[in-house]
Amino acid sequence: MSFGLIFPFTIRGLGIDVRCGYLWAPGCINDSLLTGLQFVEGFESYFFVSRWTMHQLLVECPSIYEMLPNPEFKWKNQPEIQVWRKQSQDGETFVKLESYGLIENLTLFEEALRHNELSYDGKTVSLPFNFSILKWSSGTRQILSNAQLPKGFSFYNIFGTSFDTPFDVCYGSETSPIEDLSEVCHTMPLYSYVDGDGTVPAESAKADGFAAIERVGVSGTHRQLLQNKTVFQLIQKWLGVGPTVSNHMKTSKVMDADSD
Residue 259 lies in a domain: no
Supply the range of the domain harboring residue 63.
7-239
Q: Give pLDDT < 50 ranges for the chain.
A: 1-8, 20-22, 247-251, 253-260
pLDDT of residue 102: 95
Residue partners of 220: CB distance under 8 A and separation at least 6: 160, 161, 162, 163, 197, 228, 230, 231, 257, 259
Domain annotation covers residue 2: no
3-state secondary structure of 90: coil
pTM score, two decimals?
0.84
Please, which residues have CB within 8 angstroms of residue 202's CB and are 6 or more apart in sequence? 159, 160, 161, 165, 194, 195, 196, 217, 254
Residue 223 lies in a domain: yes
Q: Does residue 111 form part of some domain? A: yes
Q: Report d(CA 132, CA 139) in Å as an integer.
A: 11
| Beta strands at 14-18 and 154-161: parallel, antiparallel or unpaired | parallel
Q: What is the pLDDT of residue 143?
A: 87
The answer to whether the beta carbons of residues 156 and 17 sit under 8 Å apart is yes
Q: How far apart are CA 68 and CA 158, in angstroms?
A: 21
Residue 103 covered by a domain: yes
Judged by DSSP in three states, 140 sits in helix
Q: Decide if 249 is inside a domain.
A: no
> In this structure, is residue 48 part of a structural domain?
yes
Distances in Å between the Cα of 119 and the Cα atoms of 38, 122, 189 are: 21, 7, 25
Number of domains in the chain: 1
Domain membership of residue 28 (yes or no) is: yes
- The per-residue pLDDT for range 121-135, each reduced to its tens digit, is 999 999 999 999 999
